[in-house]
Structure 1
Amino acid sequence: MSYIRSFQSLHFPWRFNDRSPFTLLPLTDVLTNELQVYKQGFITAFRETLCALEENDTDFLKSVMEPRLYPEVHAGLDTLKRRGHSIKRTNTDQFIYAYYYNDRIYQGVNIDRSLNKGKEMEKAQMMNVDLRIGKSKEPRMYMENMKIFTGKDGLLTNNLIFKVDVVYNTAVKLIVLDENGEKLIGDQNKSPETHKFRFETMTEMPSGVMTQALTNFQIMLYYLNCMGTNPIKVNEWIITDIDDHLKGNPFIEDSGN
């Protein structure tokens, strides 16, 4: 039992035997529908991440995780290895359901949190605008789902980061085995568990729009919702948090999620 207490104290980025609810806010129907093209990719990312944890494939984990998250995973795996313990997947043939929550757009920061030193939240006043710009269709995003960061010199960049939490409901799980191959922690039965991965992708807003959008939330909102430009067209997704281990992995201290 002492090993179980010690393992839990590591704060390993995976909820073992924890069924407490996550804080989840739904996306608009428009954005949910657009994200369907990525659903199988998100499911594959879940499977491959669990496989890499089981196989201690640190090269893969480093390649798909934000640089602040990866050391947390690496440290946990190292501790397990020193104790002679290991991670094992269970019920790998079971179906995985994936759902989208907690979308947000950020401007002016980098996915790599170490590159955001000296940034601060813009204290811009939210304007009272018609949130259903276009009026004939539901928007992708609402103003309250946008955050803008500036440098301490007042300068902004045209980086746009799109964040979404993917919540998985599945009987595919992780357990921890002791040095004798006996289950130490986790649940092997086929009752589903819920886990949450935070994914982010970074792009750039066109410079012609950027000049106006940096100081005007209404222009930015129009750009995202009405100009036919897809803000979720991506080159790659990066995992920035798992099961709220880093409490959302804020871009800068005290910035929130």
Structure 2
Amino acid sequence: MPPQQVGQPYPPHGGPQQQAWGQPSPQQGWPQQPVPQTMWWKSPAVLVGAAVVLVGVLVVGVVAISGGGDSEAGVAAAATTTSQEPSADSTPTTSTVERTTTTSKAVTQSVSPDAQAVIDVMPDALRQVVVANKITEKAPVGKDPYTVQLLCTVPAKNSLTVGLLRKIDIDRYPIAWIDTDPAKRLRQWSSQHPEWLIDKGEKKVRVDDTIPGGGATVETFNTSTNLYVLMSGFKDKESALTFVERAGL
């Protein structure tokens, strides 16, 4: 019987070893190596898709940040604008001062020296109202007894006339001048409707309350300054005389 070789055992049943169905045949002398498989999340298609999504997220983030910054800036600007608006108790702003100055220039107008002379001899109460409102100058015509005539303005509901006028919601326009022929005026007042004349020494007052339709007109003349003032539109004689007292005439 021949000797058995070491390392070469006989297969069972005297034939080659049968391999189970469906099992791979191992390489002789080497252990079987596992076949490498690529993970699904490492595939090129998945990586490219992830990159696209990441870029999209970054773009959306940048837009959101930019939009948020603009919104905050708008809110801050609105808050700043609101905080800069002056309150009722605050100091007037530059624009308010400019409006006040403009209004002051409109009513504080320059007048001729002759007109200023008429203003200077007015009683204080009347002068304060006259210089604060529109003044129109008129030159004499023919034998008018003045160097210049002033058409002044007393605003509606002014303290000089409130409660005294027939129509309370309209301005009144007193006429004033320095009389250049005072003697003639005194003669006329003494001879024409002497019942209208109220003699208070150097202050002469004349009230005409016989106007058709009602009302009264008052004239005043000061013999020390030769200032003549005329104003109409009063309810009655008593109202006209009250104006004379208020104006200091």
TM-score class normalised by the smaller sequence? under 0.3
TM-score (norm 2): 0.22
When Rg is computed on C-alpha atoms for both structures, the one with the higher figure is 2
Q: Which has the higher helix share?
A: 2
Asked which structure has the greater RCO (Cα within 8 Å, sep 6+), the reply is 1
TM-score (norm 1): 0.21
